[in-house]
A = this chain, B = another copy of it.
């Protein structure tokens, strides 16, 4: 049952006077439930109990945290059809996608559960004392990662499950030992409430302290701004637009005590098609890329928004083929009228630029909120001169840049802002010949892909989802995969601390049998 209320820890609460509804883009109508924005008192309460919960949760064992995370996964599955139906009604996305994303969410929770159950992730490190050392005795030093404190998570509009309420940021923070306050995304507030209820049930079932999780509704920006500025909040996770992400980053940096904001923001994900590969595979590439550009109605942060090639007959043919292929794909619905509104506005802004040529646009009749895909093209020289063409058009839109030559292609790559991904379509020998282009691209991105598409972000330890600004606010971390836990922890040293009072991770006897660095060597033995 969706109540429309906030979760302040395990209490449901609706003290605010502002209300809003979610929207079904397929039906082009509001959904029934009324959501109550969190009031300032509710926000304060959520932060106070989070801060108190941290005192207990920071010392909670990895095994208990694992049980909590696995129970969240179980409780999300137990929501069953209600969750899937709510998800679809608030996004327009098909049931298959809803179930796929639920699977990914569950998988992430279980991955983090496994990580903290094993326990070696804390990077325990022990340097033994040497009391005989001259001129000064060497102390005993033991280090491990510890949680930062209460974290605020802003969910993503385009991933209502996997990067929202119990998504990657929340799972990583809870695994780290940090309480989480979610600023629920207003476009899928019902999905958010259901998932929040699952987290709260799991917290109660596994005896977690009240306050370890809260879910605050808000259709505006004030709740988010207040959360980020609150002195008891110690870090922020965000997925969304550059404008919003940067605003939060700026606020956090201006605090008396600045705090880290990890914002995963926009990206145009450049794809470089080198000549030989184009010659050999042009036809199939046009099909592959038409599919990638329109996947999920283009609503992925890894959507290929920029394709670069060197002017040639083959490139002209590819552009035409891509234009034709994209017309073969039936338009699909976007998440919300605001999203399609922005898509249409950004598209119009792009094609109003001099020298940008529309190759094809879907021109059939479509239902309300359905996006008409578009392929455009521009000459390299014109692109370089016009920074407006560098802006992301979030949706099923892509721009093919026809470069004069390889040199200009490299110049364009080096002029790009930071990107989540870069893709190279090439024959193997072309990578070797054009190693300078690869190096330039590598310097602008977090992940480089060979002969594939950027869409489809594998959740695995070797994934980097993040990259130089503005694809993220701190390229030193990833937002996807188990290593994303490192955003929410800090190293901590104990010097000459009595063995029996150390955390289990650092005790001589290594009761958790974790892998540690002992005097420079890896070991899971006791010392």
- Residue numbers of A with Cβ under 8 A of B are 55, 58-59, 100, 125-127, 135-136, 138-139, 141-143, 146, 148-149, 249-250, 253-254, 257-258, 260, 417-418, 428, 431-432, 439, 442-443, 446-452, 456, 458, 460-464, 466, 468-470, 473-478, 483, 486-487, 489-498, 501, 515, 517, 520, 522
Complex Cα distance A502/B498, Å?
46
Complex Cα distance A142/B460, Å?
10
Q: Is the CB of B492 within 8 A of A464?
A: yes
Complex Cα distance A468/B428, Å?
48
Q: Is the CB of B495 within 8 A of A461?
A: no
Q: Is the CB of B249 within 8 A of A462?
A: no
List B contacts of A494 (CB < 8 A). 447-448, 450
Q: Given A418-B257, A460-B127, do A483 and B491 touch, yes or no (CB 8 Å)?
A: yes
Complex Cα distance A218/B211, Å?
51
List B contacts of A451 (CB < 8 A). 496
Of chain B, the residue at the smallest CB distance from A431 is: B501
Complex Cα distance A498/B451, Å?
10
Supply 4 further A-B pairs (C-beta < 8 A) apart from A59-B439, A126-B462, A450-B497: A138-B460, A149-B443, A253-B253, A449-B495
List B contacts of A448 (CB < 8 A). 492-495, 497
CB distance from A65 to the nearest CB of B (A): 18
Copies of chain A in the complex? 2
Q: Is the CB of B475 within 8 A of A148?
A: yes
List B contacts of A450 (CB < 8 A). 494-498
Q: Is the CB of B456 within 8 A of A136?
A: yes
List B contacts of A258 (CB < 8 A). 249, 253, 469, 473
CB distance from A395 to the nearest CB of B (A): 22
What are 23 inter-chain pairs, A to B, with CB distance below 8 A?
A125-B461, A127-B461, A127-B462, A139-B452, A139-B456, A141-B460, A253-B253, A253-B254, A257-B418, A260-B474, A428-B498, A431-B498, A446-B492, A447-B493, A448-B493, A448-B495, A449-B495, A450-B497, A450-B498, A451-B496, A462-B493, A468-B490, A515-B522
Q: Is the CB of A141 within 8 A of B463?
A: yes
List B contacts of A250 (CB < 8 A). 253-254
Q: Is the CB of A490 within 8 A of B469?
A: no
Tell which of A450, A486, A490 has the most Cβ of chain B within 10 Å. Answer: A490
List B contacts of A501 (CB < 8 A). 428, 431-432
List B contacts of A498 (CB < 8 A). 428, 431, 450
CB distance from A521 to the nearest CB of B (A): 10
Complex Cα distance A474/B489, Å?
11
List B contacts of A477 (CB < 8 A). 491
CB distance from A438 to the nearest CB of B (A): 8
Q: Is the CB of A493 within 8 A of B463?
A: yes
Q: Is the CB of A493 within 8 A of B515?
A: no
List B contacts of A431 (CB < 8 A). 498, 501
